[in-house]
Amino acid sequence: MPTSTITFRETVSSIKVIPVDEVSLEARAASLATRSIKTTSKRAALHLAIRCMDLTTLEGADTPEKVASLCQKAKRPDPSNHGVPSVAAVCIYPEMVHHAVEATEGSNVKVASVAGAFPSGLSTIEARTADIADAVKRGADEIDIVLNRSAFLAGDEQRAFEEIVASKDACGKAHLKVILEVGELGSYDKIRQASVLAMAAGADFIKTSTGKIPQASSLPRVLCMAEAVRDFAQQTNISVGIKAAGGIRTAKQAWHYLVVIGETLGTEWLSPEMFRIGASSLLNDVLLQLNRLDSGSYSGPDYVTVD
């Protein structure tokens, strides 16, 4: 491990980690979820959701062909409609990176790879950084790693911090997203602390979940992270992105997240550079809603691709 000279305590001593008021956080998230999006803005919201989407497949059964068809869909989500933008990135396992690089060549679609003993993060840091460096070498533009929750929850914040610093080194030019796995952290206070820890260690993005446990992204959890990002930006002048992932399946859920991000962080964050939604089945629902806007009739799953 490259010995990090920075310590967690020194780095974060200047950053205030304020305790989270659970009741008002949840109330705020619930009230933002009732915000209605008028028909005139719906198309823009749906297009933004697509532009900010990391189309994901993280299964043991992934094959090069499956990744290739996912990339095709990422580039041109609706083959019958030129107006629908491509998604931000495809998110896959390191083993699939070169297939995705090949399939997305010449498009704006980025290749994001999970790496570093995803989804638990419980390997030696040497193995994890080697995995990251390998994914970068294969051509990944973005790397999604996991926070070492085991160390973090055991109170060894310094170690969790150093591991992210080391991972960031291994990334080189690739963007680093740090998955906090909020469902395993247990409280909003911990989510806030983990967010600050990851941002201080150099994460370009903080991400909610791996999608591998049932307790995944939720609106209050993302709001909690967004508030941490906002305060971090105010105190350090560093703008960190947010990625919500896990359990986001409907267009309606997606625009609730857009509202939360827009209201908490401002429109500057409503772009693929600063906000991502990680999902696999969401894209089809967004396409159905776009069909509904275009045709005036409700659409159905027979009219989008089977993934």
Residues carrying an active site annotation = 144, 207, 243
Is residue 65 at the binding interface for another protein, with CB under 8 A as the rule? no
> How many residues interact with another protein (rule CB under 8 A)?
10
Neighbouring residues of 77: CB distance < 8 A, sequence distance ≥ 6? 50, 84, 85, 86, 87, 283, 286, 287
Comparison of 19 and 301: residue with beta carbon closer to another protein: 301
Rounded Cα–Cα distance for residues 134 and 141 (Å): 12
By rule CB under 8 A, what string of x and - marks binding of each residue 263-292 to another protein?
A: ----------------------------x-
Please identify, among the stretches 99-107, 171-179, 233-241, 296-304, the one whose residues bind another protein according to the rule CB under 8 A. Answer: 296-304
Is residue 60 at the binding interface for another protein, with CB under 8 A as the rule? no
Rounded Cα–Cα distance for residues 237 and 156 (Å): 27
3-class SS of residue 245: strand
Binding test (CB under 8 A) with another protein, winner from 13, 61, 234, 298: 298
Burial of 36 (0-12, 13-18, 19+ CB in 10 A): exposed
**Residue 300 CB, nearest approach to another protein (Å):** 2
**Residue 81 CB, nearest approach to another protein (Å):** 15
Is residue 83 at the binding interface for another protein, with CB under 8 A as the rule? no
Binding test (CB under 8 A) with another protein, winner from 240, 296, 306, 307: 296
CB atoms near residue 27 (< 10 Å): 12
By rule CB under 8 A, what string of x and - marks binding of each residue 123-142 to another protein?
A: --------------------
CA distances (Å), origin 196, targets 161, 163, 209: 10, 15, 16
Q: Which of 208, 219, 152 is nearest to 181 (CA)?
A: 208
Binding test (CB under 8 A) with another protein, winner from 301, 305, 306, 307: 301
Alpha helices (H) in 178-237, listed in sequence order: 188-200, 219-236
